[in-house]
Structure 1
Amino acid sequence: MKGEHPVGERLRFRVFGPLSVTVDGRAVPIGGARQRTVLALLLLNPGRIVPVDTLVDAVWNSAPPATARTQIAIVIAALRKALKAENVREDVIVTAHPGYALRAEGHLVDSLEFARLLKEAEAHAGGGRYAEAAARYDEAFGLWSGPAFAGVGGTVVEDEAARLEEHRLNAYDDATAVRLALGHHQTLVPELAALVREQPLRERSRYHLMLAQYRSGRRAEAMATYREAREQFIEELGMEPGPDLRELHDAILRDDPSLAPAPPAPGPAARSAPLVVPFELPPDIPGFTGRQHELDCLEGLFAGGERRHGPALGIITGIAGVGKTGLAVRWAHRAAAHFPDGRLFADLRGYDEEYEPTPAADVISRFLRSLGVPPEQLPPDVDDLVSMYRSVLAERRVLLVLDNVRSYAQIESLLPGSGGSVVLLTSREQLEELVAWPQNARVHLGVLPPAEAVDLLGRVVGEERVTAAPADAVRLAELCDRLPLALRIAAARLASKPHWTVGHLVSRLADERRRLDELSQGGAQVRASFELSYRYLPPQAALLYRRLGLLDVPDFAAWVGGALLDLDTLDAERLMESLVDAQFLDVVGVDATGQLRYRLQNLLRLYARERVYAEESEEEQRAARERVFSSFLTIAEEAYARDYGHHSGVLRCTAPRREIGAVQLDGLLDSPLEWLEAERLSLVAAVVQAARLGFDELAWGITASASVLFDTRNYLDDCRICAHAALDVCRETGNLRGQAAMLHELGAVEQAHRRLDTAHAHYARALELCGELGEATGQAVNLRNLSMLERFRGDLDTAMGRLETALEICRTAQDGPGEAFTLSGMAQIELERGNNADALKLAEEAVRLGGGNERGLAQALHRLGQVHLALGGHVQAEEAFLRVIELVRVKSDQVGLVYATLGLGESRLGAGDVEGAARTLSTALAEVAHIASPLVDGRVHLALAEARRRQGRIDEAREQIAAAHRAFATIEARRWTAQAEAALAALQEDSV
């Protein structure tokens, strides 16, 4: 909610450029052309009454409608309303006969401010205080952002805008005279040349250009400027240039001594010191490679043309060892020719292990001595020293490279106040107080791209050794995180040991426990560079950083930090952002749930792990990890419940769940499957780590809850990895419930790959364990799965017997969704037995029971559609499959969507809609590419082959059958292979 402004709050009215009004930095919306014209007229006469008739003439250009005065009143009311909406309580636009007035007292109107500054500048210039006058002129011209009243129409306003522009040009001429008096003739030449091209008939501007050219040693150019003027004046005006230009021309011809710049006014002794051109840059970095984009961004520091409002400023940020200094030095050497008055360099030691940060006063003193100021003339007072420093730089074009800056306070007094100098600094901090100019000169360095990292190795080691083992070189670059410091250390070790191969060093770095040791030998040490940054982290941020090293996850959201520290997620995010600012964390993007995701680079993760092992007890480490794993369980289990409606399979694990607030859960699980998708890689890594650390209940509980993702997105490899890791730890701890649950998951993976014997063994052992545990629901699930396998083998009686047992268990347990699944399976068996009426009855009952569970309902409807297909009820089948598609799309169930689209295509094919079927099956073919399921892939190709055959597109039909064969060949799908062979035979028969 907006706070109410006090009476003294000032508005800011801008007329130089697009007309605008702001309150406390917020724009006040001004409506259409009439409102802008009326406001412009009021601002042209601040504090004075503008008659209504004048406003009418301005708006309608002397052709007003009969309602003009009423419409002006409406416009005034709208302007007042816009101001009131921003809580401006005082009356800014007042009614005063015969019109209205804008009360400017206490507010900022840039035209009034411009006039005030010009008056002060003229007073300073009249008193010979040229530096003060120049500063006022610069401030005044800074108020202009474009032509006055840009975008406002009307003859009156346009005439006033032209008057103001003329006023600005006259003021610029006055300011130019002051700058010439200060000796700024060299920097004025390009500015004046541009102005003369735009305003070729302004004699005073051309006079100043000629004088600046002459004083800059460009006498011939000054003569050419006069000749151009004379030609233009005669051609366009029919007259010679005025007497001032002619006298200046004659004075230049005779080199009149009066044209020389006046001696400098008395002031600091530094102004009379001899000009010294220092070159203090360190040597260019040997073997420097890449970073072309960043170098191009920095080019804007000297390519921006004129600068009136201070020096250009570039900032290079990045983690320790990423090559900030190297880039700064490389660019400084490339740009040196653009800074004829000197190139200065200072290491401010913001992260030095042995020395305190360098005081700004020491740097300024050294820079002044480098620029020729005698030591005895340096003032002892710091403020006076800064003033002298800025005065010396004001008329020079110097490059200042400030390395290892830790804070804005450290360099605030080192920034020049004006002039053509450029500052380039490096820091591990973001230094948000600094504004880069131009904007793209704020460069954040990441690690090197793979090819450039390998190139850097070759430049130091030698191309032959690197090209002889390209795979090892790529691996070495990755083990060094492609961090330039680490790469140079590794390359230097290889260069110093010609008997080592690249592969030998790779083998030494492959062990994570030794990697930092290997990269921390000699003078340059990766560990030491991290330590210097780590020691300056705030305590809570340091605690979070080192605990992040306890996890093996590839990336993470802020809730993980909250779990590690047992904090609210927003507090954890604040700490994570501070680690981002300190270059300890990278932001890898925003996931599908809208959460920022962060990651640790490998070397920084290894250092974090070193710190947490050294600074925290094993109990603290275990508790932090357990909070993260139990948070994974809490959220994944809730995602499963929201998506599936219940937790099928063996009962829930007994691990404690970390409590997470309902609001946070709702924010994370707006789309449960999208959260699981976003966390997929981290979730798999968390399960594997939890299993390795002995958290058996957490490992199998997370896996069971993530099964909804593994199933609907067909992530079979992920499921296998998690289930195997959890099964192993459950066997080690004797956890029978966990073993049963994970055998069930592994059976599903094997079944999906059509390795039916292995799947049968897993389900059978899971069934046995559930019986020992008395887990009735788990028994029913595994009975259903075994029934499916036996149906695949053709043993329909055994399959039906298992389902009848499962049905009895579900009804006893009042497990409605489980009962629906079981009835669907029974319907399929009756269908295959040829008992279509019984199949229909069972399928309809399954649909009725599946209504409380959208995923179960979708599966029951799918079975019902298959039954209708078998019965020839193609319209009913299409209706069923369309309902399935609607349900699975809401759930983002990609596997279910492919099967339902296949069923829809088959329904349309059966109904004789061959074209519609072909389009639907083509859609299914595009969708199946997302789930990597050979079985459904082959089935879609087979159905599409039949559609192509009926269309008479025989060659395409053959291609589809061949594709189906290839898919079925990768799995045990004898039944479907036989169908593909039958389809091919039918196609050949048709051809005959």
Structure 2
Amino acid sequence: MTTSLDLRILGPIEAYCDGIPVSLGGPRQRTVLAALLLNADRVVSIERITEALWEGSPPATSKTQIAICIAALRKTFKAAGCTKEVIATSAPGYLIRTRGQRLDLREFAERLAAAREATRKQGAARGAEEFEAALELWRGPALAGITSQVIQSQVTQLDEQRLVALEERARLRLELGEHGSLITELQNLVEENPLREQARGYLMLATYRCGRRAQACELYRETRRLFVEELGIEPGPHLQALHESILNDDPALSVRNRSAVPEPHGSVPAQLPANTAAFTGREPEIAVLDQLVSGAEADGGSAIGYLIGEAGIGKTSLATWWAHRVGHHFPDGQLFADLRGRDTEHKGDPYRILDGFLRALGVADERIPAEPGERGNLYRSILAERRLLLVLDDVGQHSKIRPLLPGSGRCAVLITGTNPIGEVLGSHAPERIELARLDEQQSLALITKIVGRERIGAQPEAAARLTKLCGGLPLALRIAAAKLTSKPHWTVQRLVDRLADPGQRLNMLSHGGLDLRSRLRDSYRQLDDIAARLYRRLGMLELSEFTVAMAASILELGAEEAENAAERLIDAQLLRIKNAGTPGNLVYEFPEFHRLYARERCRIEEPPEQDAELTERIVSAIG
């Protein structure tokens, strides 16, 4: 007899074999299983699992630890009687096979589709029963107890599907005249999700139908106060029209009139990540970004901004902080996507991102076209009628974001990335905003906001030295400040002493989920072979400045090829131009953090005897 596997993630993660609970081990094994089940029957790369487990700070043994977790899960399922291979190895990672097994997430999607079909063909009563069956699969918040931010970002989409299903069931029950028994459920739904306009409309109607006209009107006034204070906008036209009908005791609100039930309309997404803490500086850049708001208000198309700068310069922090600041100007919501442009294995698939955007905008699964072009057409049609803010973070290949851009309407788009945007966006003309490193005063202000004025003020000279060692790079400054905050027994001077050792500096600039070395590694990985070789060898020679002639000697190539390689490093934000001379006389500057990382790569990838040969060639080139 074949053992049946029952996998559940719509609540705490659980597994059963023929009805008998399976022990899934500790938090790490559960997180690995969660990452696989969220992508059931699809390969999840080792790098993606690593990100879910350690969120940017993996140990050197991360692959081994993941393999141990996979082996333990396989052993667990086999011991429980599952003879088939449940978790398979498939490059570049693993996949979990759920065909022939029960997965509550898949069953929920199937039952939702059945509920909508039943509503269309058999009416409200049958549809409500099917929605009830779908919602019974939920045992609490999806993947409760899994703390990984990577996992929770996907869970948010699942929770949105559940909320939409709850609202659809409520609409059907209102049509059936079940307003009395529905009020408590709607009150709980509104209390847990106060900005869901559809749920508030259903609660108003149910309250009115129970003979509480004044209370229904008070619900509207409370909604209006909340929306104005929290979002800076008025309730939508559907809610305003319902309020007007309640004031006038409109006979159309009777149970017999199905049109009285507010029809579901587009959701208002709010996808921005948590706001950036201790933000400081960037006033000129913020002034330019603010022009996107007025630009989006004008007719003729969306306004687009592009934040460009080196790794760790604070592009995402600025984009997130600014988006929260101006979010109230976009009453139809905010969409956010992390394209992971520097991650060579996880460049964002625009059409998968489109799927998520369409669901966030209230499009039911069955209405999302399978053909990518049609999907994009539907997305642009929806945006044409709305005023949204769209943030596309960490873009690597700009051509891939074209499907995500609005075709018309009054939207604003903010893109962040490291590469020049060129002409890849076609007819769109983005406003380019390049971020520089913070000066000493701004750096000190940032550290002081995080660590505290008293502690920084106690050692002003050490604090000034700390800002210099961090090079004005916001990521380095935040890591240093976070390290001091987590170690109240350390003086500022103690951290300075440790950072002063070049051999330990990158090791010290790592804390929690923040790690400078990993960001430098991401930038290095996107280089072609020749540019990467130039980068490494500059680190070997510890050069802070060099010319095209020196680059040619380092690479053993002609001047034109060497200059092209240096330009590609500039495009990747790994080099800077020190002077503005003629092309043949340019002097390039190699920032210190890159020199430190390049030296590490050189020791790993270049033969030791190369050092003396390169030095001799450079001396010859200078002479």
Post-superposition Cα deviations, 1:40-95, rounded to whole Å, max 9, x if no partner, equal xxxxxxxxxxxxxxxxxxxxxxxxxxxxxxxxxxxxxxxxxxxxxxxxxxxxxxxx
Q: Which residue of 260, 275, 278 corresponds with 1:287?
A: 278
Separation (CA, whole Å) in 2 of partners of 1:487 and 1:436: 37
Contact 1:550 1:609 (C-alpha < 8 Å) held by counterparts? yes
- Kindly state the Cα deviation for residue 323 of structure 1 after the two structures are TM-superposed: 0.6
Contact 1:364 1:389 (C-alpha < 8 Å) held by counterparts? yes
Counterpart of 1:303 in structure 2 is 294
Code of the residue aligned with 2:356 in structure 1: it is: R
- Kindly state the Cα deviation for residue 438 of structure 1 after the two structures are TM-superposed: 9.8
**Structure 1 unaligned regions, length at least 5:** 1-215, 218-271, 634-992
Counterpart of 1:494 in structure 2 is 484
Q: Does 1:401 align with 2:391?
A: yes
Code of the residue aligned with 2:266 in structure 1: it is: L
Separation (CA, whole Å) in 1 of partners of 2:364 and 2:569: 44
Structure 1 residues 434, 311: CA separation in 2 closer, same or farther (over 3 Å shift)? farther
Contact 2:307 2:415 (C-alpha < 8 Å) held by counterparts? yes
Q: Which residue of 534, 553, 573 corresponds with 2:524?
A: 534
- Kindly state the Cα deviation for residue 434 of structure 1 after the two structures are TM-superposed: 4.5
Code of the residue aligned with 2:540 in structure 1: it is: L
Q: Name the one with the larger helix percent.
A: 1
Contact 2:265 2:362 (C-alpha < 8 Å) held by counterparts? yes
**Structure 2 unaligned regions, length at least 5:** 1-235, 238-262
Separation (CA, whole Å) in 2 of partners of 1:429 and 1:406: 7
Q: Does 1:374 align with 2:364?
A: yes
Structure 1 residues 485, 437: CA separation in 2 closer, same or farther (over 3 Å shift)? farther
Structure 1 residues 581, 592: CA separation in 2 closer, same or farther (over 3 Å shift)? closer
Question: TM-score scaled to structure 2, two decimals?
Answer: 0.56
Code of the residue aligned with 1:325 in structure 2: it is: T
Q: Which residue of 440, 449, 471 corresponds with 1:481?
A: 471
Q: Does 1:595 align with 2:585?
A: yes
Code of the residue aligned with 1:378 in structure 2: it is: I
Code of the residue aligned with 1:327 in structure 2: it is: L
- Kindly state the Cα deviation for residue 431 of structure 1 after the two structures are TM-superposed: 2.2
Contact 1:321 1:484 (C-alpha < 8 Å) held by counterparts? yes
Code of the residue aligned with 2:397 in structure 1: it is: S
Aligned ranges 1:773-788 → 2 under 5 Å: none
Q: Does 1:548 align with 2:542?
A: no
Separation (CA, whole Å) in 2 of partners of 1:557 and 1:439: 34
Post-superposition Cα deviations, 1:602-653, rounded to whole Å, max 9, x if no partner, equal 11110011111111112222212221111111xxxxxxxxxxxxxxxxxxxx
Higher relative contact order (CA 8 A, sep 6+): 2
Q: Does 1:427 align with 2:417?
A: yes
Question: TM-score scaled to structure 1, two decimals?
Answer: 0.35
Separation (CA, whole Å) in 1 of partners of 2:512 and 2:274: 21
Separation (CA, whole Å) in 2 of partners of 1:276 and 1:342: 8
Contact 2:306 2:430 (C-alpha < 8 Å) held by counterparts? no
Counterpart of 2:307 in structure 1 is 316
- Kindly state the Cα deviation for residue 288 of structure 1 after the two structures are TM-superposed: 0.8
Q: Does 1:525 align with 2:515?
A: yes
Contact 1:550 1:621 (C-alpha < 8 Å) held by counterparts? yes
Counterpart of 1:103 in structure 2 is none
Post-superposition Cα deviations, 1:688-711, rounded to whole Å, max 9, x if no partner, equal xxxxxxxxxxxxxxxxxxxxxxxx
Contact 2:544 2:591 (C-alpha < 8 Å) held by counterparts? no
Q: Which residue of 411, 432, 439 corresponds with 1:449?
A: 439
Code of the residue aligned with 1:463 in structure 2: it is: R
- Kindly state the Cα deviation for residue 532 of structure 1 after the two structures are TM-superposed: 1.2
Code of the residue aligned with 1:535 in structure 2: it is: R
Separation (CA, whole Å) in 2 of partners of 1:492 and 1:306: 39
Q: Does 1:334 align with 2:320?
A: no
Q: Does 1:392 align with 2:382?
A: yes
Secondary structure of 2:441's aligned partner: helix
Code of the residue aligned with 1:493 in structure 2: it is: K
- Kindly state the Cα deviation for residue 521 of structure 1 after the two structures are TM-superposed: 4.5
- Greater mean alpha carbon deviation, residues 510-519 or residues 344-353: 344-353
Separation (CA, whole Å) in 1 of partners of 2:383 and 2:525: 36
Contact 2:469 2:499 (C-alpha < 8 Å) held by counterparts? yes
Separation (CA, whole Å) in 2 of partners of 1:583 and 1:515: 21
Aligned ranges 1:662-681 → 2 under 5 Å: none
- Greater mean alpha carbon deviation, residues 396-405 or residues 435-444: 435-444
Contact 1:297 1:440 (C-alpha < 8 Å) held by counterparts? no
- Kindly state the Cα deviation for residue 414 of structure 1 after the two structures are TM-superposed: 0.6
Separation (CA, whole Å) in 2 of partners of 1:438 and 1:417: 9
- Kindly state the Cα deviation for residue 523 of structure 1 after the two structures are TM-superposed: 2.3
Aligned ranges 1:507-518 → 2 under 5 Å: 507-518=497-508
Q: Does 1:586 align with 2:579?
A: no
- Kindly state the Cα deviation for residue 435 of structure 1 after the two structures are TM-superposed: 6.2
Structure 1 residues 439, 449: CA separation in 2 closer, same or farther (over 3 Å shift)? farther
Q: Does 1:470 align with 2:443?
A: no
- Kindly state the Cα deviation for residue 413 of structure 1 after the two structures are TM-superposed: 0.7
Counterpart of 2:611 in structure 1 is 621
Q: Does 1:325 align with 2:308?
A: no
Post-superposition Cα deviations, 1:713-750, rounded to whole Å, max 9, x if no partner, equal xxxxxxxxxxxxxxxxxxxxxxxxxxxxxxxxxxxxxx
Secondary structure of 1:274's aligned partner: coil
- Kindly state the Cα deviation for residue 557 of structure 1 after the two structures are TM-superposed: 2.1
- Greater mean alpha carbon deviation, residues 435-444 or residues 476-485: 435-444
Q: Does 1:414 align with 2:432?
A: no
- Kindly state the Cα deviation for residue 385 of structure 1 after the two structures are TM-superposed: 0.4
Q: Which residue of 477, 493, 508 corresponds with 1:503?
A: 493
Contact 1:550 1:625 (C-alpha < 8 Å) held by counterparts? no
- Kindly state the Cα deviation for residue 487 of structure 1 after the two structures are TM-superposed: 0.9
Structure 1 residues 290, 434: CA separation in 2 closer, same or farther (over 3 Å shift)? farther
Counterpart of 2:269 in structure 1 is 278
Aligned ranges 1:628-777 → 2 under 5 Å: 628-633=618-623
Q: Name the one with the larger strand percent.
A: 2
- Kindly state the Cα deviation for residue 306 of structure 1 after the two structures are TM-superposed: 5.6
Secondary structure of 1:349's aligned partner: coil
Contact 2:305 2:414 (C-alpha < 8 Å) held by counterparts? yes
Contact 1:343 1:398 (C-alpha < 8 Å) held by counterparts? yes
Structure 1 residues 273, 541: CA separation in 2 closer, same or farther (over 3 Å shift)? farther
Aligned ranges 1:928-967 → 2 under 5 Å: none
- Kindly state the Cα deviation for residue 304 of structure 1 after the two structures are TM-superposed: 3.0
Structure 1 residues 367, 558: CA separation in 2 closer, same or farther (over 3 Å shift)? same
Code of the residue aligned with 1:349 in structure 2: it is: R
- Kindly state the Cα deviation for residue 577 of structure 1 after the two structures are TM-superposed: 0.8
- Kindly state the Cα deviation for residue 332 of structure 1 after the two structures are TM-superposed: 0.6
Secondary structure of 1:556's aligned partner: strand
Counterpart of 2:337 in structure 1 is 346
Aligned ranges 1:904-919 → 2 under 5 Å: none
Q: Which residue of 569, 592, 595 corresponds with 1:605?
A: 595
- Kindly state the Cα deviation for residue 330 of structure 1 after the two structures are TM-superposed: 1.0
- Kindly state the Cα deviation for residue 591 of structure 1 after the two structures are TM-superposed: 4.2
Contact 1:520 1:528 (C-alpha < 8 Å) held by counterparts? no
Q: Does 1:362 align with 2:337?
A: no
Contact 2:484 2:492 (C-alpha < 8 Å) held by counterparts? yes
Contact 1:489 1:519 (C-alpha < 8 Å) held by counterparts? yes
Aligned ranges 1:791-870 → 2 under 5 Å: none
Contact 2:296 2:411 (C-alpha < 8 Å) held by counterparts? no
Code of the residue aligned with 2:281 in structure 1: it is: G
- Kindly state the Cα deviation for residue 474 of structure 1 after the two structures are TM-superposed: 1.5
Structure 1 residues 343, 610: CA separation in 2 closer, same or farther (over 3 Å shift)? same
Post-superposition Cα deviations, 1:637-674, rounded to whole Å, max 9, x if no partner, equal xxxxxxxxxxxxxxxxxxxxxxxxxxxxxxxxxxxxxx
- Kindly state the Cα deviation for residue 573 of structure 1 after the two structures are TM-superposed: 1.1
Counterpart of 1:460 in structure 2 is 450
Post-superposition Cα deviations, 1:160-215, rounded to whole Å, max 9, x if no partner, equal xxxxxxxxxxxxxxxxxxxxxxxxxxxxxxxxxxxxxxxxxxxxxxxxxxxxxxxx
